[in-house]
Every structure is written in structure tokens, then in C-alpha cells.
């Protein structure tokens, strides 16, 4: 059953057939272990390594490359065969390695479930492995313990549990065994339960184990991780489609040319070699290498921007993202509670202007001291919150400045806020040493400390001098007591309120005003503490709660929140400009979630759904509203999966960020799973595609830009290689109809393929971003790789190139039909030079080469120069002339080749100029 939190303690013990003082007997333990099994997460069988390898080799483009390599080997072209197979094997290895690593999420998850625990059995406390626990075991937990299984609290003493890995709640949760719920509650609100994999941060408790192994919440997450199947990325789907199309076209054209050649009386062997060469030419065997290198270089650039890529295909997929679903804590926010508002009677100080500061020595002290010089009440408020406090400021090393806050997140926020106005805790405690305390209690929701006052006013810090003068108006105190806690508690034990420079009775009017101020802060999602004090003319003889916590003077309220990261708002705006929607999915409180979402500009309509509301919706109903809801709060791992599934069903490419164990299934389900590198659990990292080394949402946006650049460059490569190969096909296909011999020899085709589809194409893969890369909407996930003009450009540019080559061939053949080598050399050289000019012209889809600058891609410029020199070597070195069937060209013939290649460059530039004005981005 899953509703243990709705049962009273006696009902739980009855259902589990156990006893809180005696625990289970050995016989009961053995019987239940046979019934329920070990308290372990079950790992399903992993995918067979051979199956993973086969999946890497069965893609259509890879199959074609293998066939081309075999044919090349059969006709004696060993170098080409070896090169193609090297590309195939490299691609297969990278894919195999990435998928094998993706299987490691479960191993990390299992590490969370194997602590040693104290359990009461046979009336005695024993220490056993967590794997040996069974339902009904009575477990004793204390601060620092990892919770070994899901359990119902039987007793608790100031228990706080850090559940962020399961719920996303940034602060430890105060637990209470007496609470019983009548209705269904989100995981984060089940105050009488503890869950496997969470950590006790404070207090101690006795727990009845209710669920073990795969029946726990962690087990449910393990099941979700293992049931989520990987899906091909948009790039993988496009390349598979491209492989099928090119395969059919290449085989068809090669077959036609082969038959036509035989009908014209050409030698069978020559036509076979030509047909094979054409197949190899038509298939861009450099594509897998270009894609792999482009992705690897992109991953390297992303690493410099703090995004670690775990799976190479994720690099390109980032560029296709239409929706980013982000966790709140630590990604959109700083994961550090920060004082943002001080509220006292008559005045409110907004600390917003220091919320962006980091806890560094130069920022720590004196940031807002001038603001408090004329307001002693605010100084007293911060002093009280700092002295009634167990957090400390420490240095990273002896002799260094104090720059590290240690303790409860709420208390560290108070200490840091005071330090910024030159009220350092260590200095205050020297002046006002603590002599007694009443610790925080979850029932009272209050903490009180008693402090000795200094002997002389000279010891009082300057920032507290004005407040100290006002305190002395009631008489020189011997002691001061300070209390902080929930507003309702402090109103009950206070009899007065501090108003500016005097004290007024805490009447009904003041109570209403204070509650109204509290509610206004609460609506902004702030966590609020009330602070009060009392002066003692003599040391109270009874330093107990009943004495210290009465007749207090209420000073004011402190509002704090885990603030938004300063750079995230700009990143959200960049996303919106780029047509990417940001959605917040968090386990945190709805008010807090809405406040942060409004502040960052994630939502404008205020639409928010909670986990309870999601429980009432089917997937179909969620799909109808998922594109209009920007914020989800108090969600479970299943809810995150449903949201992602609904978005994907609507055609979106979804990125999901997360750091907790509860995020792992969603990270795996999303098209791109993005884990936090600093605060993220190992489980989340292993389930992800990308790890952010700085836990920063803005880094995702930078990675999206890199992804778009990579996809654009892959498209440019495809356009470039297919236009050039298409030109070759046209001239070879049309030449026989004019009665001409073959205008290119097989080795010449393969040479052009090597320099063009190899070196020049690889240089295109490092092309910088287009000018509009983050000012356009994402391309549709199901977009054909030939879409948006690529197919059109391939056809017309290939045709122009083919006709130009045909004109050269016919011109030289008609003048001297016996000098076939001269004709072939002219076609060969014109084709090689044209591919160089084409590479420069296709660097940008919309901007002229002269606008983007000749030097903006220096590697490509260097490769163009190198290939030009290599082509001249092939023309003029005697040994290579015999090998490639070329003859030395006169300078005027060489000029014709260059002139024709420049004409093709000009034609492509003119097309961009004509279309630029109406070309949609």
C-alpha cells in the first residue's frame, strides 16, 4: 500500500504486525524476507553488447559505405576501401561506447540503498545492512544517517530530513509523526514519512519500515529509469532518411550509366569501374566522419562553456530543442537561501540589490551598512537573528577571510545578511556571549537564546550603537534574550512591538498589521521568520522555555528565498527570441515556484499546475493544455515523465534539467537530459546526455547555440558534397548522348572526392555561427534534411556545374577528338577548382562571403590553398600524371578552368543576394 501517511501510528503497527519496543523476531524477519525479498533495487538485464554494436552498423548510410568499401576492394582500390572502413569502424565504436555508458544510471542508483542501519529486533538494537531490512522492522535514525527504506515515523525529536533528491525541495523538511492526512498529499508534504535515499540532517527518530526494495519511492524511480527507452535523435533520423534516398539515387544513376556505356561499346571493365566510382562519388562517405568530427569539436567548445557532453549525438540535438523543462533549485536559482526583505513597523528594506552577490571576501562585509545607519530597528533585527542562531562563518583556510557559511540554510542566510552590514557573528558573540538557550522545536516552531550584556557601552559595535541606546531607555540590561520562529508562535508569546524609537503594546490592530505584512511576503513565495527580544535587568533564575519565551518585544520580520541566478533572466529572453519555450517543473511550493517564474519571465499568464491537479488528468487531457502551462509545482517523477511525454506527443524536442534522483527518469525520457555537475547526484548524471559543470541555466542556452551551429554546418556539408557530386553525375550521364567518351576517369572522380568531400568538407564543419542563429525559431523536428532550399540548391547548382563541365568537355573534344586525355584533364581541373569556390560560397546560407569575411574561417581558407596546390601537383608532376591520366595544362587553359569555377561561385553568391530579402529565418 502507498497511503501509510494517512494512517495513525497504532494502525501502522497493526498493519505491519510489529511492536515498537520489541521489534520483529528472527522468525518474522526470515518469513518476510522470503515474501518481500531483499531490500535492494533490482537491475533488469542490460542490452547485449553485440546488439548495441549491430545497431551502430545497420544504418542505411553505413551499410552503403560498407558495400562501397567491399566493391572498392574488389576492383583493387585498397586505399579508398581502407579509408571508408576506418570511418565506419570509428563511427561504430563511438556509438557503442556512448550507449554502453548510458546504461550506468542503475549502478549509481543502487549505491544509494546500501547503508548500515540500527534496527530493533528481539527486543535488542542491532546493526545490520540495509539490504536485510523487511517491512515491519523498527529502525533508529539520527543526524547524518541515510534513510534505508520507506517508513512511517513512530517517534521523532526535532527531526529534519533533506529530501531534495526526491522532491526538489531545497531545504530540509521538518517531520512530525503525529500528523495524519485525510487526503492524498504530494511526496514533499508527507511530514510523517521518511523515504529511502534521503538524509537525516537534524534530530533523531524511530521508524517503522513500511516498504522495501522496488516498492519504495526510490524503487519506483529505478523502475521508471529502466522502462524509458532511448529514441533516435533528429540528426540520426535525418541521416537515416538521407542514406536511403542517396542509396536509391546512386544505384539508379550508376546502373543507367553502366548500361549506356555498354550500349555505346565501352569496355565492360571500364564501365564497371566507372559505375563503382560514381556510386562512391554519389555517396558522401565523408559524412559520418564530418558528423563525428563536427560533434566532437562542438563538444569541445561546449566544455569551454561549462557543458560536458556525455553522448555525442546530444550536441546536435541541443540545436533542435523547442522546449526546455527546467528544475528550479540550483538551476534557475542559486541554491542558497538569501535574505531579501527586512520588515519592521513603519519601514521595509529590500535586499534585492545584493541578491546577486556571491559569498566572496570583497562582497561579504559593508555592502549595505549605510542603509542601516539611520534605522536602529533594522540593525537590532539582524543582530537578533544572528545571535539566536547556530550557523557560523568560517574561512576556507587559517588566516583567510570569512567567506564560508556553515549550518542550516535559513540560519546561514541570516548570518550572511548581518555580515553584509558589518555585524559579524563572531564579533557579536564576543560582546554578547550566549549563556543559555531553548533549542528549536518543531511543535513550538521557535528558538530562543539568552546572552550576557557587555559591561560598558564602548564594547558595542558602531552599527548597533543607536539600537543599544534605545534598549537602555528601559534601564541598563544585564541580559538579552532573542527569539526567532513562526509568526503565529511569536505573536502568542509577545506583549509589545518595537516601533521606530519606542515600544508599543501589541494590541489587536498591531497583530492584524503584522499578519498582513507577513501574508504579503508569503504571496511572493518567501520563507518568513519573525524575530523578537527581551531585556532582563537581572539574570533570570529559571532559564527554561516557560520563563524566556514570554512577554517578548516583537522587532519585525525577515523574508528570505532561494533567489534567481542573475544571468538566467537574460538567458530566458534569449530562449524566447530563439523560439524556445522555458518551462519550470519543480517539487517546491507553488507560491515559491510562481514567484521565481514571474521574476525570470518564464510565465506571463500565471498558469500553474500542481502534482495533485496533474493526478486528475489523463495524458490526452494534459496534451490539450501542456503548451499553455509554464509552471508545474509539487510534482513527482511520474508527473515529470507525463509532462515530457505530452510535449513530445505535440511534436516538441524537449530538454529536461535536473539534479536529484527523482529527476533521473525524466532526464532519460527527454530528448536531451541535462544534469547538474555541482549539486547533481550520480544517478542524475548517469541518466543524462549533458552535465552542466556550473549548474547554470544560461549554459544550456550557450549549448543550444553550439548545437544549432553544428546542425547548420552539417547541412552545409551535405549541400556542398551533393552539389559537387551531382555535377559529376550530370556530366558523365549527359556526355554519352553527345557521342563523347567518358569525360572523367574513375581515379579522377575519387581524387576530387578525396580533396572535396574530405578536406574541404571537414573545414566547413568548423564554420562560425550564422548571424541569425539565435534569432530564429528552432527548425521543425521532422524537417527533411533537404528542406528550406537545400534540395533546390543541390539540383540547380549541380546542374549548372554539370553543364559547365559538359561545355568544357565538348569544346575541347570537338576541337581535337583524338586528345581525350586533354579533354578529361580540363574537366577534371575545372571540377576541382569549382569545388574549392563552391566551398567558399556555401559557407553561409544567407550572407555573402564578403560580409562574413574571408578570414572568419581560417582553416577552410588554408585547406582551399592546400587543395589548389595539390591539384597543380597532380597536373604537373610526371609520376602523378601517369597515375591520374592527366596532362600538363598551358596557362591559358588553366585560366579557363579558374574562370569557370569563379562563375559558379558568382552564381551562388547572386542567388543569396536575390533571396536574402525574402528568405525566412
Pairing mode, if any, of strands 690-692 and 672-676?
parallel
Three-state SS string over 452-477 comes to ECCCCHHHCCHHHHHHHHHHHHHCCC
pLDDT of residue 100: 56
Taking phi over 0 as left and psi of -120 to 50 as alpha, with beta for the rest, 735 belongs to: alpha
Residue-wise pLDDT for 63-77, tens only, equals: 766 776 776 676 666
Compute the distance between CA of residue 794 and CA of residue 787 in angstroms, rounded to an integer. Answer: 11
Residue appearing with cell numbers 531483499: 38
Q: How confident is the model at residue 799 (pLDDT cuts 50, 70, 90)?
A: very high
Predicted confidence at residue 366, as pLDDT, reads 45
The cell 542550516 sits on which residue? Answer: 408
pLDDT single digits (tens) 414-463: 998 888 888 888 889 999 999 999 988 777 889 999 999 988 888 888 77
Residue whose C-alpha is closest to residue 717's, from 129, 294, 158 = 294
Span 683-697, pLDDT tens digits: 777 778 888 888 888
Q: What is residue 386's predicted lDDT score, i.e. its pLDDT?
A: 93
Q: Give the span between the Cα atoms of 897 and 889, in whole angstroms.
A: 10
Which is nearest to 478 in space by CA: 453, 443, 441?
453
Q: Strand, helix or coil at 357?
A: coil
Q: Is the pLDDT of residue 105 over 50?
A: no
DSSP structural state of residue 5: G
Helical spans, DSSP H, in 2-157: 9-16, 26-36, 49-57, 60-74, 78-102, 105-110
Cβ atoms within 10 A of the Cβ of 618, count? 10
E runs forming strands in 491-634: 494-499, 502-505, 527-536, 552-561, 581-585, 608-610, 631-633
Q: What is the grid cell recorded at 376?
A: 536602529
Single pTM value for the model = 0.68
Alpha carbons 504 and 510: distance in angstroms, whole number: 9
pLDDT tens, position by position, 109-165: 455 445 678 999 998 988 888 888 999 999 999 877 888 889 999 998 888 888 876
Question: Are the beta carbons of 758 and 825 closer than 8 angstroms?
Answer: no
| CB neighbour list of residue 330: distance below 8 Å, 6 or more residues apart | 170, 659, 676, 678, 679, 695
> Predicted confidence band at 367 (pLDDT cuts at 50, 70, 90)?
very low
> Helices 376-387 and 409-419 sit at what angle, rounded to 10 degrees?
140
CB 518 within 8 A of CB 524: no
- State mean pLDDT over 483-511: 90
* Helix 234-263 with 697-734: angle, nearest 10 deg: 10
In degrees, rounded to 5, the angle at the alpha carbon of residue 178 between the alpha carbons of residues 176 and 181 is 95
Catalytic residue list: 327
**Ramachandran angles phi, psi of 480, nearest 5°:** -130, 140
Q: Where are the alpha helices (DSSP H) in 305-459?
A: 313-318, 361-364, 369-372, 376-387, 409-419, 425-431
Distance CA 728, CA 812 (A): 17
The pLDDT assigned to 822 comes to 93
Contact 174, 189 (CB under 8 A): no
Rounded to whole angstroms, how far apart are CA atoms 805 and 558?
Answer: 79
Across 325-335, average pLDDT: 81
CA distance 602 to 614: 20
- The 10 Å Cβ neighbour count of residue 541 is 6
Start-to-end Cα distance in the chain: 55
Rg (CA), the chain: 36
- The answer to whether 68 and 62 are in contact (CB under 8 A) is no
pLDDT digits (tens, 9 = 90+) for 566-589: 888 888 998 888 889 999 998 778
Q: Which three cell numbers stand for residue 842?
A: 556555401
DSSP state of 759: I
Amino acid at each position: 500500500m502507498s497511503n501509510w501517511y494517512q494512517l495513525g501510528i497504532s494502525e501502522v503497527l497493526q498493519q505491519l504486525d510489529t511492536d515498537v519496543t520489541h521489534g520483529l523476531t528472527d522468525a518474522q524477519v526470515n518469513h518476510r524476507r522470503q515474501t518481500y525479498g531483499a531490500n535492494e533495487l533490482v537491475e533488469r538485464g542490460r542490452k547485449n553488447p553485440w546488439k548495441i554494436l549491430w545497431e551502430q552498423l545497420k544504418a542505411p548510410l553505413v551499410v552503403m559505405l560498407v558495400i562501397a568499401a567491399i566493391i572498392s576492394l574488389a576492383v583493387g582500390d585498397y586505399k579508398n576501401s581502407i579509408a571508408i572502413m576506418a570511418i565506419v569502424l570509428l563511427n561504430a565504436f563511438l556509438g557503442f561506447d556512448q550507449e554502453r555508458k548510458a546504461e550506468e544510471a542503475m549502478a549509481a542508483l543502487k549505491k544509494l540503498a546500501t547503508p548500515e542501519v540500527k534496527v530493533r529486533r528481539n527486543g535488542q538494537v542491532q546493526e545490520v545492512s540495509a539490504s536485510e531490512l523487511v517491512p515491519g522492522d523498527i529502525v533508529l535514525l539520527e543526524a547524518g544517517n541515510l534513510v534505508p527504506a520507506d517508513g512511517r515515523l513512530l517517534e521523532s525529536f526535532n527531526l529534519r530530513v533533506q529530501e531534495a533528491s526526491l522532491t526538489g525541495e531545497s531545504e530540509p523538511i521538518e517531520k512530525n509523526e503525529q500528523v495524519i492526512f485525510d487526503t492524498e498529499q504530494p511526496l514533499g508534504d508527507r511530514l510523517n514519512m521518511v523515504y529511502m535515499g534521503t538524509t537525516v540532517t537534524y534530530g533523531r527518530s524511530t521508524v517503522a519500515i513500511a516498504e522495501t526494495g522496488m516498492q519504495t519511492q526510490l524503487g519506483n524511480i529505478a523502475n521508471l529509469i529502466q522502462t524509458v527507452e532511448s529514441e533516435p535523435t533528429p540528426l540520426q533520423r535525418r541521416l537515416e532518411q538521407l542514406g536511403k534516398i542517396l542509396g536509391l539515387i546512386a544505384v539508379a544513376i550508376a546502373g543507367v550509366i553502366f548500361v549506356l556505356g555498354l550500349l555505346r561499346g565501352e569496355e565492360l571493365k571500364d564501365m564497371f569501374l566507372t559505375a563503382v566510382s560514381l556510386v562512391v562519388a554519389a555517396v558522401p562517405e565523408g559524412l559520418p566522419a564530418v558528423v563525428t568530427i563536427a560533434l566532437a569539436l562542438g563538444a569541445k567548445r561546449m566544455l569551454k562553456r561549462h557543458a560536458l557532453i556525455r553522448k555525442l549525438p546530444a550536441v546536435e540535438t541541443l540545436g533542435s530543442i523547442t522546449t526546455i523543462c527546467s528544475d528550479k533549485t540550483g538551476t534557475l536559482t542559486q541554491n542558497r537561501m538569501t535574505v531579501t526583505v527586512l520588515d519592521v513597523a513603519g519601514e521595509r528594506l529590500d535586499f534585492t540589490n545584493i541578491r546577486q552577490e556571491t559569498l566572496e571576501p570583497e562582497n561579504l562585509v559593508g555592502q549595505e551598512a549605510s542603509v542601516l545607519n539611520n534605522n536602529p530597528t533594522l540593525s537590532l533585527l539582524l543582530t537578533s537573528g544572528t545571535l539566536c542562531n547556530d550557523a557560523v562563518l568560517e574561512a576556507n583556510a587559517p588566516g583567510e577571510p570569512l567567506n564560508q557559511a556553515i549550518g542550516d540554510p535559513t540560519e546561514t542566510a541570516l548570518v550572511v545578511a548581518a555580515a553584509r552590514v558589518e555585524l559579524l557573528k563572531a564579533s557579536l558573540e564576543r560582546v554578547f556571549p550566549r549563556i543559555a538557550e531553548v533549542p528549536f522545536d518543531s511543535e513550538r516552531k521557535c528558538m530562543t537564546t539568552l546572552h550576557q550584556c557587555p559591561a560598558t557601552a564602548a564594547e558595542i559595535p558602531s552599527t548597533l550603537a543607536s539600537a543599544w541606546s534605545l534598549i537602555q531607555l528601559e534601564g541598563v540590561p544585564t541580559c538579552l534574550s532573542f527569539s526567532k520562529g513562526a509568526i503565529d508562535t511569536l505573536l502568542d508569546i509577545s506583549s509589545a512591538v518595537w516601533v521606530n524609537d519606542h515600544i508599543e503594546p501589541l494590541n489587536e490592530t498591531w497583530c492584524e498589521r503584522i499578519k498582513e505584512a507577513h501574508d504579503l511576503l508569503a504571496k511572493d513565495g518567501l520563507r518568513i521568520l519573525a524575530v523578537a527580544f527581551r531585556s532582563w535587568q537581572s539574570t533570570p533564575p529559571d532559564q527554561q522555555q516557560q520563563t524566556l519565551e514570554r512577554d517578548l518585544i516583537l522587532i519585525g520580520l525577515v523574508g528570505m528565498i532561494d533567489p534567481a541566478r542573475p544571468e538566467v533572466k537574460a538567458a530566458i529572453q534569449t530562449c524566447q527570441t530563439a523560439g524556445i519555450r522555458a518551462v519550470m517543473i519543480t517539487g517546491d511550493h507553488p507560491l515559491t515556484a510562481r514567484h521565481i517564474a514571474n521574476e525570470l519571465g518564464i510565465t506571463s499568464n500565471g498558469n500553474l499546475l500542481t502534482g495533485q491537479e496533474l493526478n486528475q488528468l489523463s495524458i490526452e487531457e494534459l496534451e490539450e493544455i501542456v503548451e499553455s502551462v509554464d509552471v508545474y509545482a509539487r510534482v513527482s517523477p511520474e508527473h515529470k515523465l507525463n509532462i515530457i511525454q505530452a510535449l513530445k506527443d505535440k511534436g516538441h524536442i524537449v530538454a529536461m534539467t535536473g539534479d536529484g534522483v527523482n529527476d533521473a527518469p525524466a532526464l532519460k525520457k527527454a530528448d536531451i537530459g541535462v544534469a547538474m555537475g555541482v549539486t547533481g547526484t550520480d544517478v542524475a548524471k548517469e541518466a543524462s546526455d549533458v552535465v552542466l559543470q556550473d549548474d547554470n541555466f544560461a549554459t544550456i542556452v550557450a549549448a543550444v547555440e553550439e548545437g544549432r551551429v553544428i546542425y547548420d554546418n552539417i547541412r552545409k556539408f551535405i549541400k556542398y558534397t551533393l552539389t559537387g557530386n551531382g555535377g559529376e553525375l550530370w556530366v558523365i550521364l549527359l556526355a554519352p548522348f553527345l557521342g563523347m567518351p567518358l569525360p572523367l576517369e574513375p581515379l579522377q572522380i575519387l581524387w576530387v572526392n578525396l580533396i572535396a568531400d574530405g578536406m574541404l568538407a571537414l573545414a566547413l564543419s568548423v564554420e562560425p555561427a550564422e548571424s541569425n542563429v539565435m534569432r530564429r525559431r528552432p527548425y521543425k523536428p521532422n524537417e527533411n534534411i533537404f528542406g528550406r532550399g537545400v534540395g533546390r540548391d543541390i539540383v540547380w547548382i549541380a546542374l549548372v556545374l554539370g553543364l559547365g563541365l559538359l561545355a568544357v568537355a565538348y569544346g575541347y573534344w570537338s576541337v581535337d577528338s583524338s586528345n581525350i586525355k586533354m579533354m578529361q584533364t580540363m574537366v577534371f581541373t575545372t571540377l576541382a577548382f569549382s569545388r574549392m569556390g563552391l566551398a567558399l560560397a556555401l559557407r553561409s546560407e544567407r550572407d555573402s562571403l564578403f560580409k562574413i569575411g574571408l578570414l572568419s574561417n581560417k582553416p577552410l581558407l588554408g585547406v582551399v590553398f592546400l587543395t589548389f596546390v595539390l591539384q597543380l601537383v597532380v597536373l604537373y608532376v610526371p609520376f602523378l600524371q601517369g597515375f591520374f591520366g592527366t596532362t600538363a595544362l598551358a596557362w591559358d587553359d588553366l585560366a579557363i578552368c579558374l574562370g569557370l569555377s569563379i562563375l559558379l561561385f558568382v552564381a551562388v553568391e547572386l542567388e543569396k543576394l536575390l533571396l536574402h530579402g525574402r528568405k525566412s529565418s
